[in-house]
Amino acid sequence: MKVKVNDIIIGERIRIDSGDLLSLQKSIEENGLINPLLISESMELIAGYRRLMCIKKLGWKEVDCKIVKVNSKVQKLDLEADENILRKDFTLDELAVYYKTREELTLTLFQKVWRSLGHFFSFLGNLLRRLMP
């Protein structure tokens, strides 16, 4: 559901340090909001503080939100904590696959040919070393 950014109430938060928001802001600007903010029926922000800060900096007037019924302060606290604790970062291997795949997808035709030639000549050099006494 679309909600006016200025209608969202920011109450007490667990997170004190928002960290560097520049990369998140750039992602939202380029790709849009991937995950909606989580707010209560009374328009209080439950989860998505960093996203909201970026959206405000980008000058958005409305934002996608998921509205949840919050029955207690404990539930509100748990929802905010779960948003940040229960997610899983990429492993180093997964990050390596991401960067390698991204590099392959962004290479120009010339770069692909040049890389292939490099592999070919490297293979040829290794083969010749084995064959030479």
Per residue in 75-116, pLDDT (tens digit) is 999 999 998 888 888 899 999 999 999 988 888 888 878 888
Of the candidate ranges 42-46, 77-81, 87-91, 129-133, the one whose mean pLDDT is the lowest: 129-133
pTM listed for this prediction:
0.73
Sign of CA dihedral 97, 101, 103, 104: positive
Q: What's the DSSP call for residue 35? A: S
- Using the predicted structure, report yes or no on whether residue 133 has a pLDDT greater than 80: no
CA dihedral (5, 68, 77, 21) in degrees, to 10, reads -30
Are 5 and 37 in contact by the 8 Å Cβ rule? The answer is no
Q: Return the higher-pLDDT residue of 90 and 3.
A: 3
- Using the predicted structure, report yes or no on whether residue 62 has a pLDDT greater than 90: yes
Could you give the angle at the alpha carbon of 62 between the alpha carbons of 82 and 5, nearest 5°?
65
